[in-house]
Structures are given as C-alpha cells and as structure tokens.
C-alpha cells in the first residue's frame, strides 16, 4: 500500500520534467496501453498510470510539474496584474506561501483552513493585524493527499484518500492539533484519483466523491461514485454512480440538491470528451462513466453495448481538459445581483491537450432543476502560451463580506476577488 | 513497476511554464553557512554519509528541502535546519547550489573493473533515462556524477529498504528494490568516480 501511495505522489506532485533527450526518445517508443481492470493495477498502479491508453495524437503529453516553492511574492504581484475580470472586480493576493493549496474551509472564529495536494500539509491562515499568517498545522500525512477539508461544530475535518479524520476544537489548538479521530474509513486505499473533496449539506452529512484508480476501465465497485456520509455515526449512502474523477461540488441553496464537477477521461483527443457539471436529482443516478462521456459519446472500448440514453446527462458540458475542480454557489451580497446563486467553478486547466485551456474561473447560471445552463468566463489569465502556467485555480470559498477566495496549488497562493461599484 | 523507467522519457518539459526565476544566488550563498558545517565549503562534502550539493539541479535542491520541511523525507540532522528557512531561502539555496562547480573524484579510480560493472548496471537499470547521460541530473532529478561513494551506497540502501521517501521515491524504490548488493556496490563506485 505504501508504495502505491508513493507512486501517486511521484506521478502528480513531483513529476520530474526531464530534458529534451527524453522527449526525443519518446518519439520512438510504442504507445502505452494498460490492462487497468485488475486489482493488482488498482493497488500497485505503475508510476505513469495516468498515461494509460495513449493515442498517437496525444502522445508525449503529461502532467507538468509546478515550482517546488510556489510563486514568490514578486511573481504573485506581477501575476495578479495579468488576470482579467469583469468590470468592477478586483483580484489581489490574500496569502502567499500556501504550497499546493487545495480545498478551503472557514473556522467559526475566522481561521481559514486549507488542504494540500502531494505535500501532506494542512494549513491554517490567521489574520494578524492585516498580515496573513500561514501556519502548517498538520505535516507529513501519509499518504500526502489531504485535499479535502471541512469545518463543522468547532471541528476540522480532513479527508485523506481512505480516512475521514475529525480534529475537535481545532481553532483553539492550532499548535497542538493532535492525531484526530478517524470517523469514517469504509473507503478503498487506491491512491490514483483517490484524493477527495468535502461538501456538507444542511443535515451535516458530507458529499464525498470517489474516483476510479485509472484513466478508463471497469471501475472497482467501491469507487466511481458519490457517497453521502454522516460524520457523526459513520453511516453512508450511495447517491451517485458512474462518476469519473470529481474533486468539487456544492449544495444548491435553492433546493438542497448536490451539484458536482467531473473530469472526463483522457487520451481521446484535444477536444473530446468534455468535462461536466452534474446535478444529483434522485438517489442512485448513473452519470455514464465508463460507458458514455459528455452525455452523448459512447466510449470506444467500454460502452459495451450501452447507449448514452441510459444515463443522466450533464447539466452542462464545460469543455475538454478544462479540469473543473472546486465550485461554489454564490450566496453573498457583494457581487452584482445577477451573481446570486450563480455557480463559480475553479478550472485547474489541461495537461492532456496540446494547447492548454481552463486555468480560469467560470460562472454558470442555471435553473434549480439544471435547465437553461449557461457559462461565461469570470476570471482568466493563468495560462501563458500553449503550455505555460502562472497558476492553477482549484477551489473557491466565499468570505463573510461577499468577496471570494481562490486557492491555487501551482503558485501556492490564495487570492481574493472582490467587487465594488 | 515494469514501465517506470519509461515514465520520465514521456514527461514533457515545460520550460515556458516556470515563472521567471527570481532567486538570489548571493543571498543563497550567505545563508548557506547553515549548510557548510556538514555539506562542506562550496557544497562539497568532506563528511562521511553527507552528500555534496554543488552542481545539484536547482529544482532537486528545492524539492528535497520542501520534502524535509513537510516531513515526507525524514532526517534528524535536516529537521532543525529546515525549521529555520522560508520559501525564499529555499529558492535561493536552489539557485546557489546549482551555480557551484560540481564535485570531481579526488582519487583516481582504484578499481576500474568494478566501475565497468557499475557502468553496465547503470545501462541495465536505465539510470540515464532520468539522471541524464552524464549523470549530471536535471530538474527534480539528482546529480549522481562525483557524489561521495559511501553516500551513494547509503542512498541506494535507503531506497531499497523503503526508508527514504520524498520526490522520485517511487521510481527509485522500484529501481533499487531488485538491485543486488554487487550492483549497488558497483554503481556507487562507478558514479562516484565520474
């Protein structure tokens, strides 16, 4: 198990970008192909598991590696000047030095908690007379994937692949958080796509996504699903099926229904299939993976006789390789009135595409039942050139004053976006 | 496991992706007094089981410091050091050590046959596909050429035993696991005399 986690770290957190010799050599290699439908593959994925089912067209593409220490304050200052926003909006750096920052959650007393990807850190950010103090309150988690966090009834919750851990009275114990208490662990330890996200509903249950441990294949029955979990009792229900890699979702303030983003399979082409925004309207809905993508595209190998009409279509196709991650309904009062109940989605951006796209924040408006969904770009400018990242947005949270905070795991920073007339 | 050595050759280099390097070599040098006690003047270690850092790739230095600080790579000696440094220091250390002249073997090769075995093992295990043909390392991958022999032994043993983690651990754990003692000895001898 340990080595499987290590592989995953290697694959995503510290991909070793090698020199041009490596690239030249890649041209002569045969296409990669995996038999990923075995337990051996799930528990011991090869280092390059995400390169599975390579195609001639996409050959040679791989996840890029960010700067080990994120962006410096000088780099961030120049970065935010390049971000384009609608009139009246402003972006600034809220906190630098939040390496590999992922999901954010507010404590009741104003502490911003932030998870991380690949580093095993959880951070607490306190306002110290206008200056943001970033404290690493959990270090060296194994596996190092505490990507999903939440805060409820004074407790910090951290989900790390196969453990949901509760740290009681967290804000008063930032310097001595302790080991916490595992409150739910009926989850497989598969590292690949095993990183998760937490979204609480009004009953205090968490929606939790489970990704398949590969690109495409018949998934283990314990994953490719959304569960709803009660952290008090450890009770859980299976609410969505046929889901690939989801790392973001939010409960609709209008209806209480769960909406979530989903990353579609790789290695088909630059422009297909599209990543999705979905809504769970009834318990146990099937969203198509691995049989059908983007609502209308049967998988060339894994459709296996199924047609797309058997599955719940997306609310909206967001585009291929945009990598939608964290999302929030806008419920604040600071932004213009038409933003109320819009969905803001942080797009992490491409790797399996020749010209990167995503790497921005989009705004989606839709009726409570998902009809009439429309997408507009809200914030962009994190991509330079065909394959250059300045940063990669991955989560959004509202601040008390109605501004939003955006986490970026490439630049290792939190931004604040605010509006004034 | 089977394919791990191919992995790296597939990884695309994204030179344009990195922000302009704002690191400060001079500041790194000043702060590197912290390091010199063990890692030696000018990053060339005179101390047993302590690696030379001179000429290590910038990103390799940075990642290892980040891993030490976060606890993914554990070391009793490094722990108190990394608690004293911030991200700016880490960037400056990366730039500084990368700027130094790499170590050269101080003694002539006293066992060319062993070196030849090491060279063969390096080909068989495809070390160069990550560490480059000259074993100078690149990006997040360590320089091996000219490294202290007993440190290379230690590192390979640590990887083989699963003791060392952080960074390219998956690749190295898988590479080191099947290595025989003879191969490890030969590799360390060969690489240290490059």
Instruction: Find the closest chain B residue to A142 by CA distance.
Output: B72
For residues B143 and B85, membership in a common domain is answered with no
For residues B72 and B133, membership in a common domain is answered with no
Residue A9's pLDDT is: 38
| CB A8, CB A46: distance < 8 Å | no
Beta bridge partners of A360: A347
For residues B118 and B188, membership in a common domain is answered with yes
Tell me whether A37 touches chain B (CB under 8 Å): no
End-to-end CA distance of chain A: 54
Q: Is A119's CB within 8 Å of B3's CB?
A: no
How far apart (Å, rounded) are the C-alpha atoms in residues B74 and B68?
6
Smallest CA–CA distance, residue A168 to chain B, in Å, is 23
| Other Cβ atoms within 10 Å of A297 Cβ, number | 17
Chains A, B: CB pairs < 8 Å: 172
How far apart (Å, rounded) are the C-alpha atoms in residues B73 and B96?
22
For residues B149 and B183, membership in a common domain is answered with yes
Residue B167's pLDDT is: 56
Residue B14's pLDDT is: 36
Smallest CA–CA distance, residue B111 to chain A, in Å, is 31
What is the DSSP secondary-structure string of chain B? -TTHHHHHHHSPP-GGGSPP----HHHHHHHTHHHHHHH-GGG---STT----TT--HHHHHHHHHHHHHTSS--TTHHHHHTT--HHHHHHHHHHHHHSPPP--SS--S-HHHHHHHHHHHHHTTTHHHH-TTS--BTTBPP-TT--HHHHHHHHHHHHHT---SSTHHHHHHHHTT--HHHHHHHHHHHHT-
Smallest CA–CA distance, residue B110 to chain A, in Å, is 32
Chain B positions touching A69 (Cβ under 8 A) are 62, 66, 87, 90-91
Nearest CA to A78 among A381, A306, A354?
A381
For residues B188 and B117, membership in a common domain is answered with yes
Model pLDDT for residues B128-179, shown as the tens digit of each residue: 888 999 999 988 889 999 999 999 999 999 988 888 865 544 568 778 888 9
Chain B positions touching A26 (Cβ under 8 A) are 9-10
| CB A190, CB A42: distance < 8 Å | yes
Q: Is A140's CB within 8 Å of B72's CB?
A: yes
B114: containing domain: 110-192
Smallest CA–CA distance, residue B64 to chain A, in Å, is 9
In a domain, B167, yes or no: yes
**CATH code of the domain containing B73:** 1.10.760.10
The A residues from 131 to 190 touching B (CB cutoff 8 Å) are 136, 139-140, 144
Residue B8's pLDDT is: 31
Based on the structure, what is the number of domains in chain B?
2
Smallest CA–CA distance, residue A110 to chain B, in Å, is 25
In a domain, B19, yes or no: no
Q: Of the candidates B71, B99, B127, which is a domain's last residue?
A: B99
In a domain, B131, yes or no: yes
In a domain, B8, yes or no: no
Q: Of the candidates B99, B121, B138, which is a domain's last residue?
A: B99
Residue A191's pLDDT is: 87
For residues B144 and B177, membership in a common domain is answered with yes
Instruction: Find the closest chain A residue to B67 by CA distance.
Output: A119
| Cα A321 to Cα A36, A73, A299, B144, distances in angstroms | 21, 29, 16, 37
Nearest CA to A99 among A82, A118, A85, A112?
A118
The A residues from 299 to 338 touching B (CB cutoff 8 Å) are none
For residues B184 and B121, membership in a common domain is answered with yes
Chain A positions touching B2 (Cβ under 8 A) are 46
In a domain, B9, yes or no: no
Q: Is B72's CB within 8 Å of A120's CB?
A: yes
Beta bridge partners of A148: A159
Average pLDDT over residues B64-74: 88
Smallest CA–CA distance, residue B89 to chain A, in Å, is 10
In a domain, B3, yes or no: no
In a domain, B162, yes or no: yes
Question: Within its chain, how far is the Cα of A124 from the centroid?
Answer: 19
How far apart (Å, rounded) are the C-alpha atoms in residues B96 and B23?
9
Q: Is B17's CB within 8 Å of A64's CB?
A: yes
Whether pLDDT at B104 is above 50: yes
Complex prediction ipTM: 0.70
In a domain, B12, yes or no: no
Q: Is B168's CB within 8 Å of A121's CB?
A: no
For residues B133 and B66, membership in a common domain is answered with no
For residues B117 and B165, membership in a common domain is answered with yes
Sheet (strand A112-116) strand order: A101-106, A112-116, A122-128, A131-138
Residue A421's pLDDT is: 86
Residue A301's pLDDT is: 92
Tell me whether A30 touches chain B (CB under 8 Å): no
The more confident residue out of A291 and B13 is A291
Q: Of the candidates B76, B99, B122, which is a domain's last residue?
A: B99
Q: Is A385's CB within 8 Å of B16's CB?
A: yes
How far apart (Å, rounded) are the C-alpha atoms in residues A118 and A195?
10
Nearest CA to A10 among B159, B113, B82?
B159
Chunked mean pLDDT (size 10), chain A, 421 residues: 38 37 48 81 75 78 87 95 98 97 98 94 94 94 93 98 98 96 97 95 98 94 98 97 98 98 96 98 97 97 96 98 98 98 98 97 98 98 96 98 98 98 86
Chain B positions touching A68 (Cβ under 8 A) are 59, 62-63, 65-66, 90, 94, 140
């Amino acid at each position: 198990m340990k080595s499987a986690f290590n592989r995953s770290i290697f694959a995503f957190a510290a991909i070793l970008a090698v020199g041009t010799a490596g690239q030249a050599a890649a041209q002569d290699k045969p296409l990669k192909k995996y038999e990923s439908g075995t337990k051996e593959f799930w528990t011991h994925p090869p280092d390059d598991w995400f390169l599975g089912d390579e195609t001639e067209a996409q050959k040679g593409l791989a996840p890029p590696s960010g700067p080990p220490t994120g962006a410096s304050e000088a780099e961030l200052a120049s970065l935010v000047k390049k971000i384009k926003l609608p009139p009246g909006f402003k972006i600034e750096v809220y906190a630098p030095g939040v390496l590999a920052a992922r999901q954010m959650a507010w404590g009741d007393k104003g502490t911003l908690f932030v998870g991380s990807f690949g580093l095993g850190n959880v951070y607490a950010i306190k306002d110290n007379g206008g200056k943001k103090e970033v404290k690493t309150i959990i270090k060296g988690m194994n596996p190092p994937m505490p990507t999903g966090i939440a805060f409820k009834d004074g407790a910090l919750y951290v989900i790390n692949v196969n453990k949901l851990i509760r740290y009681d009275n967290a804000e008063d114990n930032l310097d001595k958080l302790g080991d916490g208490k595992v409150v739910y662990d009926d989850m497989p330890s598969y590292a690949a796509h095993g990183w998760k996200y937490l979204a609480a509903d009004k009953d205090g249950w968490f929606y939790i996504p489970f990704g398949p441990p590969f690109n495409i294949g018949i998934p283990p029955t314990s994953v490719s699903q959304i569960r709803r979990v009660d952290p008090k009792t450890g009770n859980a229900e299976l609410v969505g099926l046929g889901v690939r890699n989801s790392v973001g979702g939010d409960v609709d303030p209008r209806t209480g229904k769960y909406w979530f983003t989903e990353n579609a399979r790789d290695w088909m082409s630059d422009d297909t299939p599209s990543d999705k925004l979905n809504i769970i309207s009834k318990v146990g809905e099937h969203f198509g993976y691995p049989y059908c993508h983007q609502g209308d595209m049967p998988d060339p190998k894994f459709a296996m006789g199924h047609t797309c009409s058997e599955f719940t279509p997306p609310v909206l196709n967001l585009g291929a390789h945009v990598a939608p991650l964290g999302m929030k309904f806008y419920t604040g009062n600071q932004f213009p009135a038409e933003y109320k109940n819009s969905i803001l989605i942080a797009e992490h951006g491409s790797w399996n595409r020749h010209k990167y796209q995503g790497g921005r924040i989009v705004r989606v408006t839709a009726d409570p039942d998902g009809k009439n969904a429309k997408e507009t770009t809200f914030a962009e400018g994190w991509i330079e050139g065909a394959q250059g990242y300045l940063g990669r947005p991955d989560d959004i949270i509202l601040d008390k004053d109605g501004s939003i905070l955006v986490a970026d795991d490439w630049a290792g920073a939190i931004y604040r976006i605010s509006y004034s007339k | 496991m089977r394919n791990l050595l191919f992995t790296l050759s597939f990884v695309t280099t994204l030179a344009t992706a990195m922000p302009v390097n704002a690191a400060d070599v001079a500041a790194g040098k000043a702060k590197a007094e912290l390091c010199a006690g063990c890692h030696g003047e000018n990053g060339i270690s005179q101390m047993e089981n302590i690696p030379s850092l001179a000429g290590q790739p910038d990103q390799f230095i940075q990642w290892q410091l980040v891993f030490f600080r976060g606890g993914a790579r554990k070391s009793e000696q490094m722990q108190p050091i990394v608690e004293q440094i911030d991200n700016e220091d880490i960037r400056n250390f990366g730039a500084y050590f990368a700027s130094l002249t790499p170590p050269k073997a101080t003694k002539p090769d006293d066992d060319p046959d062993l070196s030849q075995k090491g060279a063969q093992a390096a080909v068989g295990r495809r070390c160069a596909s990550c560490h480059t043909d000259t074993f100078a390392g690149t990006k997040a991958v360590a320089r091996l050429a000219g490294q202290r022999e007993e440190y290379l032994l230690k590192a390979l043993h640590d990887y083989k035993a699963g003791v060392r983690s952080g960074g390219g651990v998956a690749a190295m754990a898988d590479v080191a696991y099947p290595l025989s003692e003879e191969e490890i000895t030969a590799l360390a001898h060969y690489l240290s005399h490059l």
